[in-house]
C-alpha cells in the first residue's frame, strides 16, 4: 500500500513542477510584445524555470520541485518604429527576448510531462482499486 502512495506523491511533485513551468511560459507569451514605455526602460525579460531534485526521506525517493526562476540574458529584439514612445534616437524600439516558437515548444514539452505524471496517477489509482478488490474478494 505504501508503494502506491509513494508513486502518487512522486507523480504529484511532477505535476506541481510542470504546472509552475507552464505558468512561467504563459507569462513569457503574454509579455512577448511588451516594450518599455520610454527609450531608457527595459522591456520584459524572458523567464526560465529551473527544477531541483529533492530527496524525500519519508518516501526514500528523489522528487522534483520548481527551482529558482532565472532571467534569460540574451539580447532584446529591436524593431524600427520611429513613432513609438519607447523609440531611441535612431527610431528603434527594444522588445522582449521572447521567441514565441521556443515558448510553444517548451509548453508542449511541459504538457507532455504533465500528462505522463497524470497517467502515473491514473494507473496507480487503478492498481490500488484492483488491489482493494482482491483483498475484499
pLDDT at 127: 92
E strands, 34-113, in order = 47-56, 61-71, 77-80, 92-95
Cell (9 digits) for 80: 524600427
pLDDT tens digits along 35-79? 999 999 999 999 999 999 999 998 888 999 999 999 999 999 999
pLDDT tens digits along 13-33? 999 999 999 999 999 999 999
Return the axis-axis angle of helices 100-136 and 2-30, rounded to nearest 10°: 160
pLDDT at 26: 98
Which 3 state secondary structure label does DSSP give 121? helix
Mean pLDDT of all residues in 96-104: 97
Cα–Cα distance between 95 and 78 in angstroms, integer?
6
pLDDT at 43: 97
pLDDT at 112: 98
Looking at the predicted structure, is the pLDDT value of residue 137 above 80?
Answer: no
Q: How many other CB atoms sit within 10 Å of the CB of residue 106?
A: 19
pLDDT at 1: 60
Amino acid at each position: 500500500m505504501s508503494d502506491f502512495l509513494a508513486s502518487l506523491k512522486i507523480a504529484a511533485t511532477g505535476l506541481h513542477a510542470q504546472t509552475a513551468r507552464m505558468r512561467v511560459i504563459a507569462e513569457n507569451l503574454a509579455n512577448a510584445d511588451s516594450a518599455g514605455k520610454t527609450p531608457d526602460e527595459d522591456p520584459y525579460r524572458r523567464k526560465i524555470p529551473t527544477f531541483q531534485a529533492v530527496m524525500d526521506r519519508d518516501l526514500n525517493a528523489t522528487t522534483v520541485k520548481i527551482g529558482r526562476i532565472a532571467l534569460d540574458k540574451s539580447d532584446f529584439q529591436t524593431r524600427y518604429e520611429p513613432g513609438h514612445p519607447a523609440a531611441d534616437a535612431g527610431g528603434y524600439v527594444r522588445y522582449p527576448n521572447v521567441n514565441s516558437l521556443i515558448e510553444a515548444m517548451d509548453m508542449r514539452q511541459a504538457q507532455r510531462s504533465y500528462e505522463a505524471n497524470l497517467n502515473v496517477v491514473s494507473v496507480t489509482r487503478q492498481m490500488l482499486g484492483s488491489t482493494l478488490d482482491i483483498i475484499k474478494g
